[in-house]
Amino acid sequence: MKLPISWLKDFIDLDGLSVEEIARKLTLAGLEVEEIKYVGLPVSGASAEGMHSSERHEFKTSGIGWDREKIVVAEIREVNPHPNADRLTLLDLYDGQQSQVVLTGAPNIFHLKGTGKLARPIKVAYAKEGSTIYDGHTDGLVLTTLKRAKIRGVESYSMVCSEKELGISEEHEGIIILDDDAPVGMPLVDYMGDAVLDISILPNMARNASVIGVARELAALTGRELKKPSIEYKTHGESVEKLASIQITEPELNPRFVLGLIRNVEIKPSPYKTQRRLRLAGIRPINNIVDATNYAMLDQGEPLHAFDYDVLKERAGNKNVKIITRAAKDGEKLTTLDDVERKLTSANVLVCDEKGPLSIAGVMGGAESEVSDGTRNILLEGAAWNFINIRKTAKQHNLPSEASFRFSRGVHPSLAETGVRRGLQLMAEWSGGEVAPGLVDAYPLKPKDSVVDVTPQDVKRLLGIDLTVEQISELLTRLEFKCEITKDGLRVTAPSHRLDIGEGVVGLADVLEEVARSYGYDNIPETRMADALPPQIGNPVHEWEEHLRDILVSLGLQEIVSYRLTSPERESRVAQYDEYVTLANPITPDRRVMRRNLVASVLEVVEHNARAESNALFELGPVFEPVENDLPDEPRRLVLAMTGSREALAWDVKDSPNFDFYDMKGRVELLLSGLRYTDVVYAPTDTVNYLHPGKAAEVRVNDKVVGVFGELHPLVKDRYEVEDAPILVAEFDLDVLHAVSPGYEIKPVPDVPPVLEDIAVIVDESVPASRVEALIRQTGGRVLTNVRLFDLYRGEQIGAGKKSLAYSLTYQSDKTMTDAEAAAIRNKIVKRLEHEVKAKLRS
């Protein structure tokens, strides 16, 4: 909400408070000032000439200050033609000290060209030579300093300003024409210098979406008095109650509806002061009647709607107007004042007469009954609506407006009457109209005033500060709560403009927040918790995953985190699924489902980094498996991917083999041993679609498959733009892996030296190495503590279809082992291998 400081001054004396101080107080109390735009008032901390400052600002700052000496109120006394330019006029202007001749091309003066001396001088904003203003002819805001120049033979050194030139608005169609009472010669900053606070209104602070609302907060924060100008006007003629009536069909949706009437209005522009304030507040002035509804809304917080009374009367067949509020019928139609035909549903509420709908309640008026240039008599509506209903309707029709902004956050019904009276007062003042006596006021559902009991103990228990009953009462009274001292503490009644104070424990929290804000969050001390430390139970799964990450990093893998949202097309490069957890409202089709496959996510990153010398990556996180009309399963997965050069290239390491299957297997082994798994079995698998059928293994722990790894299938690899090097992938199901317990113990370091021995056997290609190793281990028994394959040989020496496996065996017994004992075990092993896998000892 954009709030001019000058308007705020209608309600509170701000003497001695700088604009930044005001903004700071509001910000700390929850009315966050997002920007201060200076419109004439000196920019805080600014250097000379009222220009933008590079000094520190606590707030985002824009705008300019107006030089007191150089920018003043002046009056145009004569308008003469320019001797050499048809489209320019020469103004004879008095600035309070002397007469000046000023050139202008302003269209709103042009019609007076050649008039000569004016019967009634025109008041304008006059910038003298040397003053700094915005350049009106350049797009955007560019500062310029007025210098002496000749324009078509006439000397020019100063100008009458448009709103754009003074930073008030974008308006540059004509010059500003001030109200007649503007005092000539007065520095313009004194007459109408301003600063606009752009305040972000929190959802629970709808009560502050008005000038009086902010002033009320500021009064509470500064201890100053809130001025409430009386809303009075003269009335004439027949009272409105005799001409109009109201029927509310659903009080839950429409707790109150108030109507006032004003006759014989003259539709014309509002006073300049009004237009300027509206523009500063971000609202385009239209005419005095529409402006009055907007002005009253900003002033008091109650959105108003003006109907052309004569249109309604005609629709009623010249009988009394009867306003009916009701839910719309599905399919009912109304053309709103933006000339769009809206198709309504039963979720919308309508303001109707007996003939049909007039407006969408609280959101937008209808075209037929809107105020036009010919309107003479106005029926003015102020009402209260159900905020949830308005919110839905505004969303449904995509009609955000100043009115729906307020109504959808809650406007207290008490404001309906205040708003209508303020609107009538302004209309009378600006249009010369005559207000009819009385108001029609249907108020079937008065909100209950919230009453909350608060004690000093409550304040202590929840805020941690010691306040007396009197102090609490003082803090709340500033915010217009009614406080009554009781036996235990205070009985507090919420003020009539507030809907956000509940009852019971909720009301207590609501009131304590107001105590804290009024007291100042900054004044509450910082303490350390005196409460018992809860039992420390840790989070074993989380800690295990963190440990796992550490191991992978120590193995040289880079962690990545990808989008959980993806598309079936993206994943189809690796796997295809019938069902997905699918967004109902995706932001882009490319990210419309939750991922099911973490391999696909990681391979996208491999592809992205394909130009890197090597890629060794891992990602750990959930995939999402849909469950019919219920929450999906979120199993956790770990994926490793490696490709590119095994060694880091350097000036003397010019070439390196690429990562291959056994690099990945080594990482997998180290990961699992790092996690203390011992009973790990690797078996070939050709059932993983995305892996090369001959270069893939599954990993079993305690006979459970916990993951697979291998080389990416060539067909899958072809779907990615990557280098030639093979891509190795491992995928683990972390839930299964975590569930199989490792069962690990540390063995003592032996005192006696081990006996080492090598053995090489020739077997058929078809015999897996793991089978040979398993047989060696089984046969060797407890004393055979380590078996390490140190050579694999294929070649002519041993014949085709054969391979030689050479193992280094470590025997470790409690006592020193003799060569004979070792030889006996070795013989057993050889015999077993000969028997089981037809191995031949290689000599």
Partner 1 sequence: MLEQLKEIEKTALDALSEVTDPAVLEAWRVANVGRSSPLMQVFAGLGKLSKEERPTVGAAANRVKVALESALEERAQAIKEAALAKSLEEESLDVTLPGRGIHVGRLHPSTQQLRRVLDILADMGFQVYTSREVETDEVNFQLLNFPPNHPARDMQDTFFIEAGERGDNPILLRTHTSPGQIHAMREFAAANPDNPPPIRIALPGMCFRYEQITARSEIQFNQVEGLVVGENITFADLKGTLSDFARRMFGQHARTRFRASYFPFTEPSAEMDVECFVCGGAGCQVCKNSGWLEILGCGMVHPVVLQNGGYDPRRYSGYAWGMGPERQLMVRYRIDDIRYFWGNDLRFLGQF
First-to-last C-alpha distance (Å) of the chain: 92
CB 590 within 8 A of CB 604: no
Burial of 408 (0-12, 13-18, 19+ CB in 10 A): buried
232 versus 628: smaller Cβ distance to partner 1: 628
Please return the burial class of 141, using the count of CB atoms within 10 Å of its CB with bins 0-12, 13-18 and 19+.
middle
Q: What are the tokens at 780?
A: 């060797």
* Stretch in the footprint of partner 1 (CB under 8 A) among 7-15, 388-396, 490-498, 766-774: 388-396
Size of the site for partner 1 (CB under 8 A): 108
* Strand positions, DSSP E, 645-690: 680-684
Residues 53-82 that bind partner 1 (CB under 8 A): 55-60
Q: Is 326 in the site for partner 1 (CB under 8 A)?
A: no
Using rule CB under 8 A, residue 786 touches partner 1: no
Interacting span for partner 1 (CB under 8 A) from 306-314, 334-342, 436-444, 630-638: 630-638
Identify which of 508, 645, 639 has the alpha carbon closest to the alpha carbon of residue 574.
639
Closest contact distance (angstroms) between CB of 711 and partner 1 is 19
Q: Does 403 bind partner 1 (CB under 8 A)?
A: no
What is the rounded CA–CA span in Å between residue 805 and residue 554? 31
Residues in a beta bridge with 622: 636
Residue 584 binds partner 1, judged by CB under 8 A: yes
Of 5-13, 129-137, 473-481, 616-624, the window that binds partner 1 (rule: CB under 8 A) is: 616-624
User: What is the 8-class DSSP label of residue 530?
Assistant: -
Does 653 help bind partner 1 (rule: CB under 8 A)?
Answer: yes
Q: How far is residue 778's CA from residue 783's CA, in Å, rounded to a whole number?
A: 11
Residues 672-701, interacting with partner 1 (CB under 8 A): none
Parallel/antiparallel/unpaired status of strands 341-343 and 364-365: unpaired
> Least distance (Å) from partner 1 to the CB of residue 542?
5
Select 33 or 146, whichever has its Cβ closest to partner 1.
33
Instruction: Tell me the C-alpha distance between 526 and 506, whole Å.
Output: 25
What is the Rg, in whole angstroms, of the alpha carbon atoms belonging to the chain?
42
Q: Is 577 in the site for partner 1 (CB under 8 A)?
A: no
Q: Is 563 in the site for partner 1 (CB under 8 A)?
A: yes
| Residue 635 within binding range of partner 1, rule CB under 8 A | no
149/561 with CB nearer partner 1: 561
Complete DSSP assignment for 606-621:
HHHTTTSSEEEEEEEE
The single residue among 139, 331, 341, 530 that binds partner 1, judged by CB under 8 A, is 530
Using rule CB under 8 A, residue 512 touches partner 1 = yes
Are the beta carbons of 334 and 341 closer than 8 angstroms? yes
Residues 12-51 that bind partner 1 (CB under 8 A): 27-30, 32
Choose the stretch contacting partner 1; rule: CB under 8 A; options: 104-112, 177-185, 607-615, 706-714: 607-615
Residue (519 or 811) nearer to partner 1, CB: 519
Instruction: Give the number of other Cβ atoms within 10 Å of residue 651's Cβ.
Output: 5
Site for partner 1 in 724-753 (CB under 8 A): none
CB of 388 to partner 1, least distance (A): 4
Residue 637 host element (H or E): strand 636-644
- Least distance from C-beta 769 to partner 1, angstroms? 27
User: Among 608, 719, 771, 777, which residue interacts with partner 1 (rule: CB under 8 A)?
Assistant: 608
Q: Which helix (H) or strand (E) holds 627?
A: strand 625-627
State the nearest-atom distance from the C-beta of 605 to partner 1, in Å: 4
- The nearer residue to partner 1, 470 or 590, going by C-beta atoms, is 590
Rounded CA gap, 49 and 499, in Å? 47
Site for partner 1, residues 461 to 480, rule: CB under 8 A: 461-465
Q: b/e per residue, 370-396, with b = 16+ CB within 10 A?
A: bbeeebebbbbbbbbbbbebbbebbee
| Piece of the chain touching partner 1 by CB under 8 A; list 291-299, 335-343, 443-451, 524-532 | 524-532
Applying CB under 8 A, which part among 149-157, 485-493, 525-533, 681-689 lies near partner 1? 525-533
φ/ψ of 9, rounded to 5, equals -70, -15
Residue 559 binds to partner 1 (criterion: CB under 8 A)? yes
Residue 543 in tokens: 């800690």
Binding-site member from 585, 687, 766, 843 for partner 1 (CB under 8 A): 585
Which are the contacts of 367, defined by CB distance < 8 A and separation ≥ 6?
335, 336, 337, 338, 339
Nearer to partner 1, 627 or 756 (CB): 627
Taking Cα atoms as reference points, which of 460, 466, 464, 469 lies closest to residue 489?
A: 469
Choose between 553 and 824: whose C-beta lies nearer to partner 1. 553
408 binds partner 1 (CB under 8 A): yes
When binding is defined by CB under 8 A, the residue of 373, 578, 652, 796 that contacts partner 1 is 652
| Nearest approach, Cβ of residue 557 and partner 1 (Å) | 4
Residues 186-225 that bind partner 1 (CB under 8 A): 202-206
Q: Closest distance between partner 1 and the C-beta of residue 601, in Å?
A: 9
Residue 748 has φ and ψ, to the nearest 5°, of: -65, 150
| Buried residues in 608-632 as b, exposed as e (16+ CB within 10 A) | ebbeeebbbbbbbbbbbebeeeeeb
User: Considering beta carbons, is residue 650 or 820 the nearer one to partner 1?
Assistant: 650
* Pairing, β 755-764 against β 802-811: antiparallel
Cα angle 195, 200, 205; round to 5:
120
Which of these segments, 155-163, 484-492, 625-633, 739-747, binds partner 1 (CB under 8 A)? 625-633
DSSP reduced 3-state for 372: coil
Q: Give whichever of 512 and 716 is closer to partner 1, judged by the CB atom.
A: 512
The nearer residue to partner 1, 150 or 611, going by C-beta atoms, is: 611
Q: Is 721 an interacting residue with respect to partner 1 (CB under 8 A)?
A: no
Among 98, 230, 536, 766, binds partner 1 (CB under 8 A): 536
297 within 8 A of 406, measured Cβ to Cβ? yes
Nearer to partner 1, 271 or 410 (CB): 410
Which of 120, 150, 542, 815 forms a contact with partner 1 (CB under 8 A)? 542
Q: Is 605 in the site for partner 1 (CB under 8 A)?
A: yes
**Tokens standing for residue 796:** 């002519």
Relative orientation angle of helices 504-519 and 469-477, to the nearest 10 degrees: 80
